[in-house]
Every structure is written in structure tokens, then in C-alpha cells.
Chain A
């Protein structure tokens, strides 16, 4: 017992000594070795006071190892709960360089943190620490880690969407684990729905079910259902599957989303009564999928769509006429609708209250401001970098043996002395 305690103390001394960047590798190997010893694990419950000695910022790697051993040993829930603030402090202040040596341990610590926070029903506590954890773990802002989806889950549960935006707005180019990707975009889509940014939500949900998949998974199904509803709200129709959707998804998704497809056909008729009937018909399905709120929004979006259609036909229209053609009850309600739409920027119009007329305008954007120049410049830069990446991927695939085999097999049979575009070794 004393011997075990000694090894732990010597380990702590080592940790405190080796703080320079060159020594980290050495420290890492030491720690890995000690991990396999039983000594550390047997002492796990008593590590708490030792951890208090170490500084998370300077001794991040050592702190991480000890913390991990402590948390996964047989300690009680209350002890973990008591330790929560220190974990939060660690996540906020640890050094990214150290962490990357032992990323899986880091992930497991964060996972434990998240579970505890969820168990305590206070997800909001975990948001800031997890966000800094995510930012420290990723090699660049384009990389997706396992922690991303945990972080978004906490934000969703806490209904606190703003902190997640900085993580969500990054374009992801690398991902390690397909499940991470699916979860990330699914939660991301839900966060955007909560923020009512439907076009971004559509993008995220779109990414889920168009990802390459060999077998159908539940996340894709749920994402597809929400996708149908959000595209009805946003643009009034559901676009067909793009050609890069996997064949599995194309064939099987529709079978699971029958109620939603019925809603789409009802929406296409443009009548309130039809849609309401359809909703009543499938109301248990919608409720069990937790989509009833979205479905109600689909209903109210119908009047918006009709008003928008009116802007394309008329220059001025009276409020009474609007309520007649859109099947609203009275000019007061149509005035309210139009006012909301003007505030949200969905249409451009002025309401003349004296004679109850609405005058529709063109888009007043005249593209003559410096801000527009900046905006365009940014978009062009983004597009250029994307284009470079795409060309790189294109070249990469062209050299891929799987691709070459398939192409080689299908080529036309030329005569013997015609040159072969695919070398025979790939066939």
C-alpha cells in the first residue's frame, strides 16, 4: 500500500518536473507505462488531493491521466459531482498541445463530464467547458471530433443555441467517425430549426441523409422526416434526392416517412382544410416523432407562401382581398401576417393604414455599398478555397484503384494496337 502510494507520489513529482515541451513525449511514455501498472489504479480513489496539487494548465497531460483514472475507478456519483467544477476548470484551461498526445483519454474524460452534467439535469453547466474542449481537441476548424456531437447535444438540452453557432458555422472537411458526422449534422439541424434559420437547417439535415451509407440508420430516417417538414416551411416543396445520395438511402428512406410524404401532397393543394385533415390523420405518428411543433409551423407557413405568391401578381392589394385569397379570417389577421413578414424580411411592402392597402415593392438592395463589396469578396474567397479542395479530391479519386478498376472494365473494346487508357494491372 505504501509502495503503491510512493509510486504515485513519484509519478506526481515527475509530472511536476517535466513541464517543458520537449519532455512531454517522455512524460507520455512514463504515464503510459504507469497506466499498465496496477499501482495507479488501486490508488485511484485517493488521487483527488493529488490532483489539487497539479496545475491543469502547465501539467495538462499528467492531470489528464490522473483524472481519467480517478473518474473511471469505483467512486460514487456524489464524488464525481463534487469534482465537476475542477473538471470544468481543467477543460477550460488545459493546454491543447498536451492534450493531443492522449486524445482518447481526453474524450473519455469529456464523456464522463457530459454524462454527469446530464444526470444532474443542468446541461447548461457543461456548455462552455465542452466548447473549449472541442476547440482544443481539433487540429483545425475543419476537423470533426467526437466531442462535437456531445457539445451540440448539451446545447440542445439546455436550449442555449448561441454558443454553438461558432462551432456550427465552420465548414467540416474531415471526419473520423461516420456516426459523429451524422449526429453532428442532425443536432446542428435541430439547433438551426430552433433559431428559425431554416435554410441552414436544411443544409445540415441534407448532409445527414445524403452521406454515403451502406445500411440505413435511424439518424438518417429522423433527419429525413425533419428535412421534409423544414423544406415545406422554407420553400413549399420537397426537392428530389440529389444524385450523390447513396442508393440505400434513395430506396429505403421513403418507406419510413410515409406520413410526411402525405403531408407534402396535401400541402401541394394549397388548402388549409386538406392539410389539417392530413395532420389529424397522422397525429400520433407526428407526436411520437416529437415533430408536432414543426408540423404546426408548416400549417402557418401556408399563408405566408400564399401572400408571397401575391407579391408576384399584384403591385397593390387591399387587406380584405389578401384575407380572401389566402383564406384568413378578416383583414386584421392578414395585416398581422403581412407585418410579420415585412419584419422578417420575407417580403418588401408598405401598409397604408388609412385605406387598408398594401403596396408591394421590389427588393431595395441596390448593391452599391462597401459592405456588399466586402461580403462578395468573402464569398469569392470561400469559393476559391473550396474549388481548390475539390480539384484536389478530383485528382485523388482519379488515381484511386477502385475507380480505375470500374472504369477499366466498362471501357469499349478497341483493337489491339489502340492505346489503353487504363493499365491492365488494375483489371
Chain B
């Protein structure tokens, strides 16, 4: 049912959408798991058909919104929708209400399509797709595969469009897969970075995280340094004649050297020096604190030892 799209539309997906969908799914999964365990019938949450047995993960549904400019479709945001499992339709009234609210905040965003979770496109999805066609004549379908496959390196997200193909003499709409790019805004980059670096284990306070970060950089630079040193020694030995000349190696070294300097603009210099100075200032501050602590100790001891009328600091005899 899915083949590659030939419509020539480029899709740009923002990480916010991915995070939203995954969050929706995870929440629902946690809730149904919990309600399954406690065996109380919790009311079904938005958008999901709860599986009859707890292990079957529920599908979540929602709308994606964004902007379409010419041949580029940029998907910015998404929201959840209620799904009526009996009639296999989305709750229309809710959708319109939500759309109105979002219009007020983001006047440029349109409903571009809808999303769901699952491993592949299903038959019932076409019904939902058709129902959205009156809002947007060519809606897109974003599918998130929540199964965690460790060997798979790509994002488990696929975007489908519909095309009219003639199959067995009948024109039919089928889903075709399209390629997409990820587009990030600065704020999104920071949050994704933050989430990605947050280790579940004890990476707690900012100080330890900074220390871990700097240690990583330190070991990387140390490795680089030792390797450059090895190369340098090798070249010096070659120059002195202790090792026979090897032209291919020399050519490789030359090409390596030609790659430096990587960036040489003034703006880079400025930013680089600013960051360098920031790190230096941090070191300076750390040293200062250290030194002040030592100084404080020295002064205390001196006062106790030599000042005739010193205060009785600290310990008094307990009874």
C-alpha cells in the first residue's frame, strides 16, 4: 500500500511534533498499564482505543498543524484528538474547537493532517484520512512506530500522502511514503540537547554535569594530542633518516595539514575567544573560591594561636 511519493513536495518536521506524539503515546501507555494493573476501570483518555489486554499498546491520534508555502510543507506543532473507536471517526466538534483556539495563537498555522502510532499503515486509517480531506484537500499522515528497535538508527517516523492510482481499473487512493527533513529552531535544539544528555543515573547537579562534560573533552583532547605527537615523532625520525621515506604516508599527512585551519573568519575568532575567556573566567573563579577558603582557614588558625584575646571559637566543653 505504500510506495514512494512522486509529488515533489518537501516536508520539514519539527522535533516538537515528534516529542508531542511520543509523549502522548507514553502517557497513554502508562495510564492503561496502570489501570490494567489496578483493575479499576479508569475512563478512557483522549484519543486512545485501550487495548483489551494491557500488553497491547493503544493507538493515539491527533492533528498536525503547520504552514504550507508553495512546495514546502513545514509541520510545526500538533495536538491530540478524541477518537471514537465504535465509528472509527475522530471527534469533529472537538477538532473544530481546538482549531479555533490554535488559530488565535498561531494565525498562520493550518491543519496539515493527522498523526497516529503503529508499525504500519492500516485500512481504517484511510477512513480518517478521507474525513480530514474537507479541511485540507491533501492531508498528510504522520506515523510514529513506538517499538524500540535498538539496531535501527533512523527515526521511526514516516510521513504518508495519498495519491490517486488506478488499481484494477478503479481509481483508488493509496498511501505513499514521502521523505522529510528535520528542521529545528534554536529553542528546540536546546531542549532536545538537554533531553538527550540527561542520563537516568546520577547526573544530577549542574556541577557534576559540567565536570563530566569537561572530563569528556579533556580525554578527547588528550587522545588527539598523543596521536599528533606520534605523528610528529614519526616525521622527525623520517627527516633524520632513521626510517625509510614513505611518500604515500607523507601525502596523507600533507592532506591532513591542508585541512587546517577549519574556519578562519573574524566572527569565528570573536566567538571562540569569548568562549575561551568564559572558561578561563570560570577557572579563575574556582581558584579564587579555593584560595579564599584556604585563607579563611589560615586566618582562623592564626587568630586562635596568636591573638591574646581571641574569641573562644567553636568548641566549648560539653558536660
Give the nearest-CB partner of A410 in chain B: B315
Contact: B277 with A243, CB < 8 Å? no
Per-position 1/0 for A378-390, Cβ under 8 A of B: 0110011011001
Q: How many residues of A contact B (CB 8 A)?
A: 36
Kindly report which residue of chain B lies nearest to residue A369, judged by CB atoms.
Answer: B273
Q: Does B100 contact A (CB under 8 A)?
A: no
CB of A398 within 8 A of CB of B315, answer no
The complex places the Cα of A372 from the Cα of B287 at a distance, in Å, of 18
Chain B, range 266-319, C-beta contacts under 8 Å to A:
269-271, 273-274, 276-278, 280-281, 283-284, 287-288, 290-291, 294-295, 297-299, 301-310, 312, 314-318
- Nearest CB to that of A381 among chain B residues? B287
Segment at the B interface, from A161-169, A270-278, A399-407: A399-407
B305, A373: Cβ atoms closer than 8 Å: no
* B230 shortest CB reach to chain A, Å: 28
What separation, in Å, do the CA atoms of A244 and B67 have in the docked complex? Answer: 68
* Chain A stretch 319-377: residues in CB contact (< 8 A) with chain B: 366-370, 372-373, 376-377
Select A376's contact among B280, B290, B312, beta carbons within 8 Å.
B280
Q: Report the bound CA distance from A211 to B312 in whole Å.
A: 21
- Could you say which residues of chain A place their CB within 8 Å of the CB of B270? 366, 368
Given contacts A387-B290, A412-B318, contact A367 B302 (CB under 8 A): no
A247, A367, A393, A406: the one within 8 Å of B309 (CB): A247
Residue in A373, A394, A407 whose CB lies within 8 Å of B294: A394
A402 to B310, CA, bound (A): 13
Residues on the A chain within 8 Å of B305, using CB: 397, 400, 402-403, 406
| Whole-angstrom distance between the Cβ of B263 and the nearest chain A Cβ | 15
Q: Taking the nearest CB of chain A, how far is it from the CB of B275, in angstroms? A: 9
Q: Name A368's contact: one of B277, B310, B312 (CB within 8 Å).
A: B277
- Shortest A372–chain B CB gap in Å is 6
Contact with A along B240-264 (1 / 0, CB 8 A): 0000000000000000000000000
Question: A243 touches which one: B283, B288, B299 (CB < 8 A)?
Answer: B299
Q: How far apart sit A391 and B273, CA to CA, in the bound complex (Å)? A: 33
What residue of chain B has the Cβ atom nearest to residue A251's Cβ?
A: B309
Secondary structure at the A interface, as helix, strand, loop or mixed, is helix
| CB-based contact A387/B301 at 8 Å | no
Write out the residue numbers on chain A whose beta carbons fall within 8 Å of the beta carbon of B301: 394, 397-398, 403
Chain A nearest Cβ from B129, distance in angstroms: 54
A20 close to B (CB within 8 Å): no
Contact call B315/A377, Cβ cutoff below 8 A: no
Contact assessment for B290 and A410 in the assembled complex, using a CB-CB cutoff below 8 Å = no
What is the CB-to-nearest-CB distance from A36 to chain B, in angstroms, rounded to a whole number? Answer: 40
A425 at interface by CB-CB < 8 Å: no
A368 touches B290 (CB 8 A): no
Q: A368-B273, A410-B316 are in contact. Are A380 and B287 (CB under 8 A)?
A: yes
Q: Which A-chain residue is minimally distant from B294 (CB atoms)?
A: A390
- Counting chain B residues whose Cβ lies within 8 A of the other chain, the interface size class is 35 or more
Contact A397 B291 (CB under 8 A): no
With both chains docked as a complex, state the minimum distance between the C-beta of A368 and any C-beta of chain B, in angstroms.
4
Expressed in whole angstroms, the Cα–Cα distance for A90 and B131 within the complex equals 107
Given A368-B273, A394-B301: A377 in contact with B280 (beta carbons within 8 A): yes
Which residues of A lie under 8 Å from residue B277 when comparing CB positions? Answer: 367-368, 372-373, 376
Are A403 and B304 also in contact (CB < 8 A) when A397-B298, A410-B314, A413-B317 are?
A: yes
CA–CA, A379 and B280, complex, Å: 10
Q: A373-B273, A394-B297 are in contact. Are A383 and B288 (CB under 8 A)?
A: yes
Query: Are the C-beta atoms of B299 and A244 separated by less than 8 Å?
Result: yes
Bound-complex Cα distance A377 to B308 (A): 41
Nearest CB of B to A367, in Å: 4
Indicate whether A45 reaches chain B with its CB closer than 8 angstroms.
Answer: no
Point out the residues of chain B lying under 8 angstroms from A380, CB to CB: 280, 283-284, 287
Bound state CA distance, A407 and B299, in angstroms? Answer: 14
Which chain A residues lie closer than 8 Å to B315 at the CB level? 410-412
A387/B291 contact (C-beta < 8 A), A380-B280, A397-B301, A407-B304 known: yes
Cβ–Cβ contact A376 & B303, under 8 A:
no
Say whether A412 contacts B317, CB under 8 Å: yes
A283 and B290 CA atoms in complex are apart in Å by 46
Known: A398-B301, A402-B305, A406-B305. A383 touches B284 (CB 8 A): yes
Q: Is the CB of B278 within 8 A of A367?
A: yes
A-chain residues with CB within 8 Å of residue B310 when the two chains form the complex: 247, 406
Whether the Cβ atoms of B273 and A244 lie closer than 8 Å is no
Q: B281 contacts which of A246, A369, A376, A397 (Cβ < 8 Å)?
A: A376
Q: Chain A's nearest CB lies how many Å from the CB of B293?
A: 9
Whether A384 lies near B303 (C-beta < 8 A) is no
A393 touches B298 (CB 8 A): yes
Residues of chain A within 8 A (CB-CB) of B306 are 212, 402
How distant is B300 from chain A, measured CB to nearest CB, in Å?
8
Residues in B neighbouring A391, C-beta threshold 8 A: 294
Query: Once the chains are docked, how many angstroms separate the CA of A413 from the CA of B315?
Result: 10
- Whether A247 touches B318, Cβ cut-off 8 Å, given contacts A372-B277, A410-B312, is no
Of A366, A384, A390, which is within 8 A of B295 by CB?
Answer: A390
Which residue among B294, B316, B317 has the maximum number of chain A CB atoms within 10 Å of its CB?
B294
Q: 24 A-B pairs, CB-CB below 8 angstroms? A: A212-B306, A214-B308, A367-B278, A367-B281, A368-B269, A368-B270, A368-B271, A368-B273, A373-B280, A377-B280, A380-B283, A380-B287, A383-B284, A386-B291, A387-B291, A390-B294, A398-B301, A403-B304, A410-B312, A410-B317, A411-B315, A412-B315, A412-B317, A413-B318
The 4 closest A-B pairs by CB, nearest first: A403-B305, A367-B277, A368-B273, A376-B280
